[in-house]
Amino acid sequence: MNFNRLAPFYQTLESVCAGKKMHRCRVAFLEALPAAEHVLLLGEGPGRSLLEYGQRFPAARLTCVDGSAAMLDRARRQGRHLSAFRARVHFVHADLENWLPPESRYDLVVTHFFLDCFRREQLPPLIRKIARAARPAANWLVADFQLAASGWKRLRSRLILWGLYQFFRVTTRLPARSLTNPDPFLQAAGFHLVHRKETEWQLLRSDWWQRSSHSPVDVPSPR
């Protein structure tokens, strides 16, 4: 998997195909979130969320992780005009499957359009790893595509998702061939859904998950 080739065109491609719809999902809960001290942005790509969350939480330290050097370069450039922004952001060029985040550090985790990059069997250990890096009462935001519940919306979302996976497979050699719903793995890691906003006839969702301090942290094996 390598997003380097796509990095120069990624934002333009998104604007042309989806306008502001995906970005609205990224920031859906931004204003409602409680203050965060340590924010972890995973698979951050060109840094759209980094800029928004960096401005929303001016005192927070942000850790921005991506496996693509070209994407990370773009993310680095996002905050260059904001004073002290750079000093607050730690950029990590790493494959999340190999990177070990510090334990119980982050009070806000952001995985926008990222969990959809993984095959079903990759998700449980990945989510378990991320959950371990989160504080006991952490918030976790997930904006992503989804398969609509039924009828023509389901058919429409299935067709669009099929096209998207074909495209990313060719351009980035993405390991996933289809979308896996991460909800059971998030729940098993002790997170519960606080809010969900569905848009685009249920093709897009924005989730706000939260972990209570007494929740279990077991993640089930893939079926």
Ligand X SMILES: C[S@@+](CC[C@H](N)C(=O)[O-])C[C@H]1O[C@@H](n2cnc3c(N)ncnc32)[C@H](O)[C@@H]1O
Query: b vs e for 129-155, b when ≥16 Cβ sit within 10 Å of the residue's Cβ?
Result: bbbebbbeebbbbbbbbbbbeeeebee
Per-residue contact string for residues 47-86; x = within reach of ligand X by CB under 6 A: -xx---------------xxxx--x---------------
3-class DSSP state of 15 = helix
* Closest by Cα among 101, 106, 41 to 75: 41
- Looking at 55-63, 111-119, 128-136, 209-217, which segment touches ligand X (CB under 6 A)? 111-119
If binding is defined by CB under 6 A, does position 44 make contact with ligand X?
A: yes
If binding is defined by CB under 6 A, does position 3 make contact with ligand X?
A: yes
Count of residues engaged in binding ligand X, rule: CB under 6 A = 20
- Looking at 45-53, 78-86, 101-109, 185-193, which segment touches ligand X (CB under 6 A)? 45-53
Q: Which two tokens stand for residue 149?
A: 């519940």
Residues 109, 55: Cα–Cα separation, whole Å: 16
If binding is defined by CB under 6 A, does position 145 make contact with ligand X?
A: no
Sheet containing 204-211: order of strands: 89-93, 61-66, 38-42, 106-110, 134-145, 204-211, 191-199
Binding residue for ligand X, selected from 43, 79, 101, 190, defined by CB under 6 A? 43
Q: Do β-strands 61-66 and 106-110 pair in parallel, antiparallel, or remain unpaired?
A: unpaired
Residue number with CB closer to ligand X (6 or 189): 6
Beta carbon of residue 96, minimum distance to ligand X (angstroms, whole number) = 4
15 Cβ contact list (under 8 Å, min separation 6): none
Residue number with CB closer to ligand X (82 or 164): 164
If binding is defined by CB under 6 A, does position 101 make contact with ligand X?
A: no
75 Cβ contact list (under 8 Å, min separation 6): 44, 45, 46, 47, 50, 64, 66, 91
Binding residue for ligand X, selected from 1, 33, 194, 217, defined by CB under 6 A? 1
Beta carbon of residue 1, minimum distance to ligand X (angstroms, whole number) = 5
- Name the site residues for ligand X (rule: CB under 6 A): 1, 3, 26, 43-45, 48-49, 65-68, 71, 95-97, 112-114, 117
